Amino acid sequence: MPTLTSVAEVIVTGAISTAEGRSTTVEQIYHYCFNVPFGPTLPTLINVADAVTSGPAAVMIGLLQEDYTWQGTRARWLDDVTVPYVDGSVTLGSGTITTARLPSDVTVRLELETQTRGKSFKGGKSYRPIAESQVTGDELSSSGYTAWLAMKAALESGIVVTGQNASHCVVSRILSQLRTNPTTIIGAAVYQAALNKTLGTMKGRHRRSVR
């Protein structure tokens, strides 16, 4: 099984506002493997978080409906369980598409593929809220699909942090041991992201009826 080292876990947190003044928290979790041994030569976690904010998170903001508001990005090293999350310093705003949106549990889904066989080495990302202007029926429209290809490219790319390259990777929560030191991180680098044209839904995220 492929073992990874120097892996940063980065969580991008946002919220979807509703007409009733409530909000739903949304998180995307990314893993990046640096091409250096774990140790003092790695970039700071603040810089790692900022690179993800300026990279895939900024692309996401440009594709989501305006009811989404970015709240923060934080990062930690999976190699050492004693290292806490560190907040980034770069800030973003709200989704940029101002037309009406679909229900908050409807998503655009991208599947992450690696060159290692097995379901433990596959992943995915779901994004919401989705603007109605990007959709025809139950699928992304032609223009919507083209727009979301930017997210596909962002997921396929790594990040560069203060001159150091990091590959986007899939980490297996089942095969890895991440609770105590020394950790064992099992995963593989992402080489391709597949954009689903058909819209998905988030199980357990359907809003309760309002009366």
Which domain does 54 fall in, by range?
Answer: 3-201
For residue 211, the model assigns a pLDDT of 43
7-10-15 Cα angle (round to 5) = 165
Using the 8-state DSSP alphabet, how is residue 54 labeled? I
Residue 209 lies in a domain: no
pTM value surpassing 0.85? yes
Look at phi and psi of residue 72 and say left if phi exceeds 0, alpha if psi is from -120 to 50, else beta.
left
Closest CA relative to residue 43, chosen from 32, 27, 53? 32
Residue 42 lies in a domain: yes
Tens-of-pLDDT digits for all 211 residues of the chain?
799 999 999 999 999 998 767 899 999 999 999 988 888 889 999 999 999 999 999 999 999 999 999 999 999 999 999 999 999 999 999 999 999 999 999 999 999 999 999 999 999 999 999 999 999 999 999 999 999 999 999 999 999 999 999 999 999 999 999 999 999 999 999 999 999 999 999 765 455 544 4
Residue 208 lies in a domain: no
Residue 161 lies in a domain: yes
Kindly report the three-state secondary structure assignment for every residue of 10-40. EEEEEEEECCCCCEEEEEEEEEEEECCCCCC
For residue 210, the model assigns a pLDDT of 47
Tell me: the pLDDT tens digits for 2-27?
999 999 999 999 999 987 678 999 99
What is the residue type of 102? Answer: L
Residue 211 lies in a domain: no
Say how many domains are in the chain. Answer: 1
Residue 116 lies in a domain: yes
